[in-house]
Amino acid sequence: MPGFLQSLTKTRNVILSRLASVLGASKITPETWEDLEAVLIQADVGVETTLEVVERLRRRAQEERILRADRLQDLLAEELRALLPDPPPLNLGGRPLDVVLVVGVNGSGKTTTIAKLAHYYRREGRKVLLAAADTFRAAAIDQLRLWAERVGCPVVAGPEGGDPGAVVYDALQAARSRGMDMVIADTAGRLHTQHNLMEELRKVHRVAGKVVEGAPHEVLLVLDATTGQNALSQALHFREAVGVTGVVLAKLDSTARGGMAFAVAHRLGLPIRFVGTGEGLDDLAPFDADRFVKGLFAP
Ligand SMILES: Nc1nc2c(ncn2[C@@H]2O[C@H](COP(=O)(O)OP(=O)(O)OP(=O)(O)O)[C@@H](O)[C@H]2O)c(=O)[nH]1
Ligand SMILES: [Mg+2]
């Protein structure tokens, strides 16, 4: 999937250009560590995670008697890779109806991601139905309908301003009676500080569980990668409110802050499942930790 490596271009450019000067052929000095910290922080790995990584690297260099800075790049790649644990497979498949709830703040990329996911799973032979549970604006419902037309899958929507729980309820019933095997539900963007909206999300979650056992089987939080570290506190709150099971990192192609993936995985303990690599239907790639880390250092 060329899109995946390509989407790392901006982040890679920040890391590589600076890393080249830090890890030249010179001897390791105390400044090497400081400079390395600066590179990682600039790529939005986050201060805490950066300090941890560089400290581990420093210790390893000492133990393994590494004196030259140019030998650090491989070690750095190993330490970064270790921040991305390999998660179990997505909790999808093996049941009559899978339910995926998609959540996130305003404009993070939810609706676009849902269209991409529907396209992705339809190609895998799944029968996907979309639930337009973002009832906030009529435009949101129209946007999902337009995407669904392009993807070629049905949508269940309710009236503008209606109850999103009711939309999800109807969508799940419809999916059953129409023999669909996957429902992906769009939700309105909300801030974690909007308590009533977070409560509404909990309700949608509960409704899904009443209609289909164990639903939602995945709750995907769409984070806008261009917001870097700011996405972390959002993620914490969504995780608390609705038990997020995984992250989609949207807009990875538009940012040099791709390092935030490490902080998300490491500090939140949430697996990154997909990355958004552009605005089109095909611009979604399953997250691959090995390729992600390698892709940071070489195109
Ligand atoms: N470059 C790029 N743009 C993206 C990606 N994903 C989404 N976008 C763009 O981000 C903008 C917002 O996307 P939406 O899908 O409408 O976001 P949303 O979270 O549904 O927004 P609300 O429903 O208003 O909360 C759109 O212009 C998308 O084209 C991506 O992976 N890469
Ligand atoms: Mg939307």
Q: What is the pLDDT of residues 151-181, one digit of tens each?
A: 999 999 999 999 999 999 999 999 999 999 9
Ligand 1 center to 108 CA (angstroms): 6
* Residue 212, φ and ψ in degrees, nearest 5: -125, 125
User: Rounded distance, CA 78 to CA 55, Å?
Assistant: 14
Domains and CATH numbers, the chain: 2-82 (1.20.120.140), 98-297 (3.40.50.300)
In the prediction, which pLDDT does 194 show?
Answer: 86
Strand order in the sheet with 98-103: 155-157, 128-133, 182-187, 98-103, 218-224, 246-250, 272-276, 284-286
The strand pairing partners of 286, in sequence order, are 274
Of residues 218 and 230, more confidently modeled: 218
In the prediction, which pLDDT does 64 show?
Answer: 94
User: Rounded distance, CA 182 to CA 133, Å?
Assistant: 15
Ligand 1 center to 236 CA (angstroms): 21
Asked whether 258 lines ligand 1 (CB < 6 A), one says no
Q: Amino acid identity of 281?
A: L
Ligand nearest to C-alpha 282? 1
Pocket test for ligand 1, best of 223, 279, 282, 284 (most atoms within 8 A of CB): 279
Ligand 1 center to 70 CA (angstroms): 39
DSSP 158: -
The pTM of this model reads 0.96
User: Are 186 and 151 a contacting pair, CB within 8 Å?
Assistant: no
In the prediction, which pLDDT does 127 show?
Answer: 98
The answer to whether the bond into 164 is cis (omega within 30° of 0) is no
Asked whether 140 lines ligand 1 (CB < 6 A), one says yes
Question: Residue of the nearest CA to atom 10 in ligand 1?
Answer: 109
